[in-house]
Structure 1
Amino acid sequence: SCLAVRSIQYSFLPKWQPPFITSLAPEDRCHLNGLGLRDGKIRYVTALGQSDEAAGWRKRKKDGGVVMDTTTNEILLDGLAMPHSPRWYDDKLWVLESGAGTIGHVDIANRAYTPIAEVPGFTRGLDFCGPVAFVGLSQVRESAVFSGIPITERKQERTCGVWAIHIQTGQILGFVKFEDAVQEIFAVRVVPGIRYPDLVNHDTKLLDGSFILPDADLLRVPDAYRNAST
């Protein structure tokens, strides 16, 4: 339960720990899971609990989650259900209360969380573009890890995808839903200027015979080759 950097000489170099963690041990004591920058420097983190014992965060996963300031070691907000993805954007600290399926912002002065939207999935992964937040949703199953939290107690189908939400009104602007193979989203990132992104495919046979050409040149390729993958 620490922030660390990679090292050539060591397995990792610890840089910061929550003040309630008393040692370095591979015990998942607080499930430190989210990191946010402010002015280009690490500033905010989320954890699922303030425990100093192995897997102790699980005892209060419904309301034990916290948001912390790494520069002051302050707990800015507590009482959250499995928070993730702290982000500083538009002069506000945003966070996902994943266990409740919400996105909201933190009133740091008053230690309060204001959700702006609730969505049908475990919220994890957050980025922004203009007035729009892009939120990842995971289709979590009711298991030992996820039982007893608000989202699994609802009588509502949970889904997986990416939701677009207006940050001023909370309106759902649209979504991309994964129906089959993908059930969990761990991170979301806006890639400016890219309209037709592609996925890396690890099928070496397919890659060896795949080529990308300008549209005008593609017209000169025989149909048998252009349609080989269909």
Structure 2
Amino acid sequence: MRSVHTSNFPNLLKQLGISLVVSTYQAGKLILLRAEENSINTHFKVFDRAMGLAVDREKMAIGTAYQLWELRNIPAVADKLEPPGKHDACYLPRSIRITGDIDVHEIAYASERLWFVNTRFSCLCTLDRNHSFVPRWKPPFITAYDLRDRCHLNGLGLRENRPKYVTALGETDTPNGWRENKASGGILMDIDTSEIIARNLSMPHSPRWYRDKLWVLESGKGSLATVDLATGNVTTVTELPGFTRGLDFYGNIAFIGLSQVRETATFSGLPITQKASDRICGVWVVNIDTGETIAFLKFEDAVQEIFSVRVLPGIMFPEVIDWDKDLMASSYVLPDEALAQVVPMSQEGE
């Protein structure tokens, strides 16, 4: 799990008052990037095939192989972690929902409801108490729900706290039909109108509405781009040395996940695989006003693919509990009115 980073990356996180949460399905890990003195502390937690992430100061959701995990930040637990006073957040599991193997991709909280891309069934979904998932929207060219991934729906972007944009790797309605033209068959869609905003994209991911612009990663080109809503024209902001997937913003900075991409049928024939330069896995930091790379962290060995990158604003050194039985068994989260009547452990037996 070795990594190297530019010397300015730790100080950048400190100045911004943030940390980063990164998922890698290939390595089966959730990674916390935390500034610690003059280095980046890369803290790994085990989550099987970790992919989509939704995070804020109060909660976190993680999409995995066949589950959706929801965690809550419990500050009182953070105060008890070793060493004392170091952690400023601790996310504990509150629920685990079994979805089945739907190849869940990006997820997002919108008005407290968790939305997620169900890639195998080519639809956008939510949860309820009775079902594995509840389909809420699918592209109009998808004629049936089918486990065989007809268009590789993958990215989800919000606008005004509502699901608004999705990306897919093809405008296709046959099992795995998107694979035939993956290098340039990608699309960006408006959920409200079911209209296609842009076509001919190279494996697009991570649509984001930020600062009155629509952003997207053209993963097959290794680029960050903006899209004109009126014309669908795509303007490349910068090209990076890897398969771009996973995007979040803070101020005038973009944090972008890069993957090496393996030489397999899925990634063959892409513009980025035809470049002579080496492809890198890591997190790149880009000034969105200039397109300039200002910092990066590069993984050197076991981590080869990144799926999601998310900013935790106002939290510098978080902890995430994956399956610590002792800690979970001894942690109790109660409403304030009930907590006021709990007898402290020091008084037990009095």
State TM-score, norm by structure 1: 0.86
Higher relative contact order (CA 8 A, sep 6+): 2
Matches within 5 A, 1:182-201: 182-198=303-319
Residue 213 of structure 2 is matched in structure 1 by 92
**Once the two structures are superposed, what CA deviation does each residue of 1:90-112 show, in whole Å capped at 9, x if it has no partner?**
00000000010000110111111
Residue 5 of structure 1 is matched in structure 2 by 126
For 1:25 and 1:52, locate their aligned partners in 2 and report how far apart those are by CA, in whole Å. Answer: 10
Residue 200 of structure 2 is matched in structure 1 by 79
1:155–1:198: structure 2 CA closer, same or farther, 3 Å change rule?
farther
Local SS of the residue matching 2:247: strand
For 2:320 and 2:141, locate their aligned partners in 1 and report how far apart those are by CA, in whole Å. Answer: 41
**Once the two structures are superposed, what CA deviation does each residue of 1:60-100 show, in whole Å capped at 9, x if it has no partner?**
10100000000001100010110000000000000000010
Residue 11 of structure 2 is matched in structure 1 by none
For 1:198 and 1:3, locate their aligned partners in 2 and report how far apart those are by CA, in whole Å. Answer: 30
For 1:159 and 1:204, locate their aligned partners in 2 and report how far apart those are by CA, in whole Å. Answer: 36
Local SS of the residue matching 2:238: strand
TM superposition shift of 1:198: 4.8
- Specify the code of the residue in structure 2 equivalent to 1:136: G
1:182–1:198: structure 2 CA closer, same or farther, 3 Å change rule?
farther
Residue 266 of structure 2 is matched in structure 1 by 145
Richer in strand (by share)? 2
TM superposition shift of 1:7: 2.5
2:137 corresponds, among 9, 12, 16, to 16
1:203–1:9: structure 2 CA closer, same or farther, 3 Å change rule?
closer
Residue 104 of structure 1 is matched in structure 2 by 225
Residue 169 of structure 1 is matched in structure 2 by 290
Q: Please give the root-mean-square deviation of Cα atoms over the aligned residues, in Å.
A: 1.7
1:58 lines up with 2:176 in the alignment: no
1:180 corresponds, among 301, 317, 320, to 301
- Specify the code of the residue in structure 1 equivalent to 2:272: I
Alignment length, in residue pairs?
207
TM superposition shift of 1:8: 1.9
Unaligned runs of 5+ in 2: 1-121, 328-350
For 1:12 and 1:133, locate their aligned partners in 2 and report how far apart those are by CA, in whole Å. Answer: 32
**Once the two structures are superposed, what CA deviation does each residue of 1:151-210 show, in whole Å capped at 9, x if it has no partner?**
1111110111110001111000110111112111111111112233456576879x8xxx
Percent identical: 58
**Once the two structures are superposed, what CA deviation does each residue of 1:129-163 show, in whole Å capped at 9, x if it has no partner?**
00000000011112100000101111110111110
